Amino acid sequence: MGTSKGYLPPTGYLWPEAKRDVTGMVKSGFTPSSIGKAVSGFSKAMGGGGKPYSGSVAKVGTKAVKFIEAVKSYGFLDALEKVGLSHLRGQSSEGLRAGLLEYFNDSENDFYGSVAQQSMSELMRELLKSAEDEEDYNNIIGSIDTGEFIREFIVKFIQNCFFANFAEKILTMFDKLDKYDSAEKSVKTYIRTSLESEFTIKDIQKVDWNGQQGNQIITDKCNKAFEILSVWSETLV
């Protein structure tokens, strides 16, 4: 349902219109057109005001990608050593999963940092849910397509950002919680479908993820995703 950690009501000239679009979406019963308009208004607002999310999404995303690339280069066990997680060697599947999730959680205190961590945690849980031993972790993480991983992280980040900003507002307009669950599914599906059809990440095999280049790539891709979602008109639905 989103997170309120460190939440401050968003400001900027585009946010009042975004909030009105969300109200209109609820009142219209979450029609495809109203969802598209609300997501577009939200994305425009996120793209303005200095893009306050950029540092957090880059930091969380880059840390995960660096570990994935280490596993590809050195194997899972040596990668654990290189990032200071040697104490996880020999742990149970649950111990490994918990240790890795803790590693990817940088304890960010800012609002968008906590949303980025929530998104990464969801993604990692999905990817590692079938892993039963160290060999499984090596095979699963070592076979991750870096571009697809970054795209999935950004999709989840944008989905969670939307509800982190508007969950409380939407909830106050419902008389039953199950209506909210259905609405959340509809909006998240719209965001995912819109991005999966137009948003691809390729040609990032030779990236220095230990330097600024990696941070910039994730920031640029996230900005591009918001740009795609900001485009909306009645003729597109």
Lowest mean pLDDT among 65-74, 101-110, 187-196: 101-110
Answer yes or no: is 2 within a domain: no
Whether pLDDT at 81 is above 70: yes
110 or 35: which leads in pLDDT: 35
User: In the chain, how many domains are there?
Assistant: 1
Position 230, amino acid:
S
Answer yes or no: is 1 within a domain: no
Whether pLDDT at 82 is above 80: yes
Structure tokens at 160: 């969670």
- How far apart CA 61 and CA 214 sit, in angstroms, is 9
- What average pLDDT does the chain have? 88
Whether pLDDT at 202 is above 80: no
Answer yes or no: is 6 within a domain: no
pLDDT value at position 107? 61
Burial category of 132 from C-beta neighbours within 10 Å (exposed 0-12, middle 13-18, buried 19 and up)? exposed
Q: Which domain holds residue 119?
A: 12-24+31-237
Answer yes or no: is 4 within a domain: no
229 or 105: which leads in pLDDT: 229
pLDDT value at position 11? 61
126 or 8: which leads in pLDDT: 126
C-alpha gyration radius of the chain:
19
% of the chain residues with pLDDT over 90:
66
Answer yes or no: is 84 within a domain: yes
Answer yes or no: is 125 within a domain: yes
Whether pLDDT at 229 is above 50: yes
77 or 5: which leads in pLDDT: 77
Mean pLDDT of 57-68: 94
> Using an 8 Å Cβ cutoff, are 45 and 14 in contact?
yes
- How far apart CA 180 and CA 148 sit, in angstroms, is 29
192 or 110: which leads in pLDDT: 192
Lowest mean pLDDT among 7-11, 64-68, 190-194: 7-11
Answer yes or no: is 3 within a domain: no
Mean pLDDT of 16-40: 94
pLDDT value at position 4? 47
Burial category of 226 from C-beta neighbours within 10 Å (exposed 0-12, middle 13-18, buried 19 and up)? buried
Lowest mean pLDDT among 4-8, 114-118, 143-147, 221-225: 4-8
Cα distances (Å, whole numbers) of residue 77 to 83, 94, 144:
10, 16, 16
Mean pLDDT of 116-136: 95
127 or 106: which leads in pLDDT: 127
Answer yes or no: is 194 within a domain: yes
